């Protein structure tokens, strides 16, 4: 999950889910909880023609088996535009945060799923709260940009509230950088900050920009089925291993994974088969009780929350202080000096 849009949530959920089902032999349930229905598009399900969806399960109390569809060796609970009204309709319902959980847990127990992947909407509304109430682990896809850091504070705060009141077992199991370009100083600096906030949680593998990832939904396919050898598939294969065995480069190679996979205990990362949550120390996932919102707040304290105030870039925090080579201005031997006496500056100038 990530309340910021366009960071790769849907692509990450669809790609890892498909790789778990098609290359690791896992039983996977995909839940599309975004009214845009983009995850359904990945599964070759047209949201415009879908009559029974997760909306009916949450609002009308429909048995989820009636809305269940199959695609790419996975079970799918699709979404359509009706889900956009769910926020308003759920507002007046009792126990609205647990309606999704109460509907999905019996299905998980009956179908014996190994993993349930939930694609959350780009917001922190009731739909996202419902997903967090059901889930046991959270994977945070994000871009290596300054604005992505600003949203971490609110995300961590929301998770803290859910842990305290609705789901004590909820924890962040990983952070994966999407559309990542490690050649830039900005990307390196943002990654370093996130690793400081979530020690041991940031995936060593990153998802590079790849046009095949953008093409695959238009064909109703996940990336591993659309182009098994492209860079996007290779990146998500590495991320899937970290998803299974824990981040920070602790996952084994593909050959080692095949030997050990059958011996390891099953894990439901998005929804447990029992109402009780799995212990966070299982499967290479570290305890995150020491991760608090304060470090993120410390990063953002220099940013004035009043959007009308213009912030001096030099005060924006650690990511703007990365070392960079100084620029020098060369003057041609026969050129005349600028009469105005001005010079080219790469940072903000005094007014």
Instruction: Look at residue 326 and tell me if it is in a domain.
Output: no
- 138: helix, strand or coil: strand
Across the chain, how many H-helices and E-strands are there?
14, 6
Confidence of residue 235 (pLDDT cuts 50, 70, 90): very high
CB atoms within 10 A of CB 154: 14
User: pLDDT tens, 178-228?
Assistant: 999 988 999 999 999 999 888 999 999 999 999 999 999 999 999 999 999
Both structure tokens of 269: 């990362």
Cα distance between the two ends of the chain: 42
3: left (phi over 0), alpha (psi -120 to 50) or beta: alpha
Cβ within 8 Å of residue 120, ≥6 positions away: 1, 2, 9, 33, 34, 127, 128, 131
Instruction: Look at residue 312 and tell me if it is in a domain.
Output: no
Confidence of residue 248 (pLDDT cuts 50, 70, 90): low
What kind and span of H or E run contains 76?
Answer: strand 74-77
pLDDT value of position 326: 46
State how beta strands 28-32 and 69-71 pair.
unpaired
Q: 338: buried, middle or exposed (CB in 10 Å: 19+, 13-18, 0-12)? A: exposed
Instruction: Look at residue 341 and tell me if it is in a domain.
Output: no
Region 235-249 average pLDDT? 87
Distance CA 200, CA 203 (A): 8
Region 218-245 average pLDDT? 94
Instruction: Look at residue 204 and tell me if it is in a domain.
Output: yes
What kind and span of H or E run contains 35?
Answer: none
pLDDT value of position 271: 35
User: pLDDT tens, 143-165?
Assistant: 988 888 887 878 888 889 999 99
Residue with tokens 């900050």: 193
What is the domain range of residue 70?
9-298
Distance CA 159, CA 292 (A): 10
117 bridge partner residues: 30
The domain total for the chain is 1
The CATH number that applies at residue 222 is 3.40.50.300
Instruction: Look at residue 237 and tell me if it is in a domain.
Output: yes
Average pLDDT of every residue of the chain: 76
CA-closest candidate to residue 240, choices 75, 17, 5, 80: 17
Residue with tokens 């294969």: 237
Both structure tokens of 47: 């949201």
Distance CA 312, CA 333 (A): 36
pLDDT value of position 151: 77
User: pLDDT tens, 298-343?
Assistant: 434 433 344 344 434 444 344 333 444 444 444 444 444 444 444 4
pLDDT value of position 65: 94
pLDDT value of position 6: 83
Residue 105 has pLDDT above 90, yes or no: yes
- 250: helix, strand or coil: coil
CA-closest candidate to residue 32, choices 333, 236, 331, 46: 46
- The 8-class DSSP code of residue 202 comes to B
Distance CA 125, CA 258 (A): 39
Instruction: Look at residue 322 and tell me if it is in a domain.
Output: no
User: pLDDT tens, 66-93?
Assistant: 999 999 999 999 999 999 998 889 888 8
């Amino acid at each position: 999950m990530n309340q910021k849009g366009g960071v790769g949530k849907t692509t990450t959920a669809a790609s890892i889910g498909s790789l778990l089902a098609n290359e690791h032999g896992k039983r996977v349930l995909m839940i599309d909880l975004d009214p845009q229905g983009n995850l359904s598009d990945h599964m070759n399900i047209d949201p415009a023609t879908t009559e029974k969806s997760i909306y009916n399960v949450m609002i009308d109390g429909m048995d989820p088996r009636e809305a269940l569809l199959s695609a790419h060796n996975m079970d799918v609970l699709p979404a359509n535009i009706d889900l956009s009204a769910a926020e308003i309709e759920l507002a007046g319902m009792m126990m609205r945060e647990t309606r999704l959980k109460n509907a999905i847990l019996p299905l998980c127990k009956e179908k014996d799923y190994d993993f349930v992947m939930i694609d959350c909407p780009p917001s922190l509304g009731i739909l996202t709260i419902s997903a967090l109430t059901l889930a046991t682990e959270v994977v945070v896809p994000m871009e290596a940009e300054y604005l992505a850091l600003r949203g971490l504070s609110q995300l961590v705060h929301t998770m803290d509230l859910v842990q305290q009141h609705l789901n004590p077992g909820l924890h962040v199991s990983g952070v994966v950088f999407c559309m990542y370009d490690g050649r830039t100083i900005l990307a390196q600096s943002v990654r370093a900050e996130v690793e400081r906030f979530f020690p041991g949680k940031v995936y060593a593998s990153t998802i590079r920009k790849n046009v095949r990832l953008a093409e695959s939904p238009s064909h109703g396919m996940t990336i591993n089925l659309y182009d098994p050898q492209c860079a996007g598939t290779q990146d998500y294969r590495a991320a899937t291993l970290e998803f299974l065995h824990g981040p920070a480069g602790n996952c084994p190679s593909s050959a080692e994974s095949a030997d050990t996979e059958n011996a390891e205990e099953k894990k439901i990362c998005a929804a447990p088969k029992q109402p009780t949550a799995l212990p966070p120390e299982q499967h290479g996932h570290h305890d995150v009780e020491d991760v608090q919102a304060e470090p993120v707040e410390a990063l953002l304290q220099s940013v004035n929350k009043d959007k009308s105030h213009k912030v001096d870039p030099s005060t924006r925090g650690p990511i703007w202080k990365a070392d960079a080579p100084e620029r020098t201005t060369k003057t041609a031997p026969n050129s005349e000096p600028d009469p105005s006496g001005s010079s080219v500056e790469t940072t903000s100038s005094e007014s």
